[in-house]
C-alpha cells in the first residue's frame, strides 16, 4: 500500500501552470507577429510602445511586449554593420524604462 506524500514542494498548482502556459502562448503569438513586420513597422511598434509606457506607466504586459520587441530587434540587427542613432536611442530608452521595473 502506498502512503501519501504531503511534501508541498512536489505539488503542482494547476491554475498557475495554466497561467504560465497561456503567457507562453501569448508571447509566442506576439513574437510571430513581430517576425512578419518589416523593420520600419517594427520600429513604429517600438515607438508606440515607448509612448504608451510614457503615458500610462508600465504593466507586466508592456514589459513582456518590450522584451519580445528587443529580442526581435536584436535578431534583425545581429549581422548589420551599423545602426542609426535613432535606433540606438530607442533601444536605450526602452531598456531604461524596463530597468525601472
Spell out the domain ranges in the chain. 13-100
Mean pLDDT, the chain, whole residue set: 80
∠ CA(16), CA(72), CA(20), 5° rounding?
Answer: 5
Please answer whether residues 30 and 68 qualify as being in contact, where contact means their C-beta atoms are separated by less than 8 angstroms: yes
Q: Check: pTM over 0.85? Answer yes or no.
A: no
pLDDT over 80 (residue 88): no
Mean pLDDT, range 15-30, rounded to an integer: 83
pLDDT digits (tens, 9 = 90+) for 72-84: 888 887 756 566 6
Nearest of 94, 96, 97, 95 to residue 46 by alpha carbon: 94
Amino acid at each position: 500500500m502506498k502512503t501519501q506524500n504531503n511534501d508541498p514542494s512536489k505539488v503542482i498548482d494547476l491554475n498557475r501552470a495554466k497561467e504560465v502556459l497561456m503567457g507562453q502562448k501569448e508571447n509566442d503569438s506576439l513574437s510571430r507577429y513581430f517576425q512578419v513586420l518589416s523593420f520600419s513597422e517594427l520600429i513604429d511598434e517600438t515607438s508606440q510602445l515607448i509612448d504608451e509606457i510614457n503615458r500610462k506607466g508600465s504593466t507586466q504586459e508592456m514589459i513582456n511586449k518590450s522584451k519580445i520587441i528587443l529580442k526581435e530587434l536584436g535578431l534583425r540587427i545581429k549581422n548589420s554593420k551599423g545602426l542609426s542613432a535613432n535606433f540606438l536611442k530607442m533601444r536605450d530608452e526602452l531598456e531604461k524604462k524596463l530597468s525601472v521595473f
